[in-house]
Structure 1
Amino acid sequence: MTAQRTFILLAAAGSALTLAMAFGFQHIGGMAPCKLCLWQRWPHAAAVVIGALALALPARILCWFGALAALSTAAVGGYHTGVERGWWEGPATCTSSGASGMSADDLFDQIMAAPVIRCDEVPWELFTLSMASWNMILSLLLAGIWVQAARKG
C-alpha cells in the first residue's frame, strides 16, 4: 500500500469514526444535537465519500477537497466553541421552525412540546473541552493528514 493510500484511509476513517461517535452520543447517550452540531457532521460525511473516491480514482485533487472538508468542519467547530463560551452569539434560528398556517394555540403547544436544544450550552466535555472543541482539534489533524496525502500523490 502506498503512503498516499494510507493517509487517505487514515483521514477518511477519522471522519467516519467522528461521525460514529456523534451518532453514538445522540442515539445511545441521548444527547440531541443542536443546529451547529449537525452542521459539523456534513463535512465529515463528505470526507468519507471523498476518501472512497480518492481510493478509486486519481487522488491528488480529491485529497485537497478532503482537506477542505476537514477545515470546514473545524471552522464550524471553532465557531460553535465560541458560541458555547459566550465569545459571540450563535444563530438566532438554532432550533426554530416555521409556523405558517398554525393557530396560536397549536403553535404554543408545539413550542411547549419541543425539546430545547441550545447551541450555547455544553452537554458534555472532556478536559474542559466540549464536543465542538474536540471536533475542531481532530478536524485540524485530519486536514493535516489530507494535505500529506495530497503531497504524496
Structure 2
Amino acid sequence: MLEWLKFNSRIWFFLGFIGCVFLLAMGAYFQFVGGLDPCPLCISQRIAILLTGLVFLSAAIHNPGQTGVTAYAVSGAVTALCGAAISTRHVWIQHLPPDKVPECGPGLDYVLQNFPLFETVKLMLSGTGDCAKVDWTLLGFSMPAWTLLAFLMLASLSLLQIWNDSHAE
C-alpha cells in the first residue's frame, strides 16, 4: 500500500535537502521582501536548517551503505532536533507574559564586532525581547511554531531512513 513511499534513502535525503532550501528561501523572503528583521533566535534556527540541509545533501551525494545511512540519519536528526530545541525556546519566549520577557539587547552586528564568539553564541541562543514579538502568523501559529514543526518533520524524515534503507530490496 505504501510502496510509493519506498524511495531509496538517497532520494529522501535529497528531498529533505530541498525542504531545507525552501525553508531558508522563505526566511530570506520574509526578511528581504516582507521587511521582517530576524531576531537572534531566528538566525540560530536558520543556521540549524542550513546544517541539517548540508547533512542531507552530503548523504544524497555520498549514497552510502547501511552504516553510512545510519550515521547520516542520526546526524541529520541531531541537527534538526537542536533546531527544534531553539524553536521551542523561541515559542516559549513568545508566550511569556509581557513583564517576564527578556530585555532587548544590542544588535547582532554590534555583538559580533565587540564580544567574543562564545558570548555572541550565548546571546543568539538565549533570545531577547526582539524574539518575543510575533510579526507573522498562519492558522494562529507563529513562524517559530511552524519552524518547530518543520524541524520535527526533518528529524523524523532523517530517522526513518534507517528503517527505509534496512528494508530496501
> Into which bin does the TM-score normalised by the smaller protein fall?
0.7 to 0.9
Q: Match for residue 126 of structure 1? A: 138
Tell me the TM-score normalized by structure 2.
0.72
Establish whether residue 82 from structure 1 lines up as the match of residue 92 from structure 2.
yes
Structure-1 separation of matches of 2:45 and 2:103: 14
Matched, 1:138 2:150: yes
Could you tell me which amino acid in structure 2 is paired with residue 135 of structure 1? Answer: T
Runs of 4+ in 1 over 4 A off after TM superposition: 87-92
Give the drift of 1:2: 4.4
Q: Which residue of 1 aligns with 2:160?
A: 148
TM-score, normalised relative to structure 1 = 0.79
Q: CA deviation at 1:151?
A: 2.6
Identity %: 26
Change (3 A) 1:18 1:3: same
Summarize the alignment of residues 4-153 of structure 1 with structure 2, pairs less than 5 Å apart. Answer: 4-57=9-62, 58=64, 59-60=68-69, 61-86=71-96, 89-90=101-102, 93=105, 95=107, 97=110, 118-153=130-165
> Alpha-carbon deviation of 1:92?
6.0
In the alignment of these two chains, the number of paired residues is: 138
Q: Do the aligned residues in 1 keep the contact of 2:94 with 2:134 (CA within 8 Å)?
A: yes
In structure 2, give the amino acid aligned to 1:118. D
Shift of 1:144: 0.5
Q: 1:16 to 1:150 in 2, by over 3 A?
A: farther
Q: Which residue of 2 aligns with 1:3?
A: 8
Change (3 A) 1:56 1:78: same
For 1:3 and 1:42, locate their aligned partners in 2 and report how far apart those are by CA, in whole Å: 27
Other structure's SS at 2:87 match = helix
Aligned to 2:119: none
RMSD between aligned residues: 2.6
Structure 2: 5+ residue runs without aligned partners?
1-5, 115-128
The amino acid across from 1:21 in the alignment is M
Query: Residue type matched to 1:7 in 2?
Result: W
The 8 Å contact of residues 11 and 60 in structure 2, kept in 1 or not, is answered as: no
Unaligned 5+ segments in structure 1 are: 101-116
Q: Is the 8 A contact 1:16 1:48 kept in 2?
A: yes
Q: Contact (CA 8 Å) 2:104, 2:130: kept in 1 or not?
A: no
Letter in 2 for 1:50: V
Distance of aligned partners of 1:19 and 1:78 in 2 relative to their CA distance in 1, 3 Å threshold: same
The 3 A distance-change label for structure 1 pair 52 and 134 is: same
Question: Is the 8 Å Cα contact of residues 84 and 120 (structure 1) preserved in structure 2?
Answer: yes
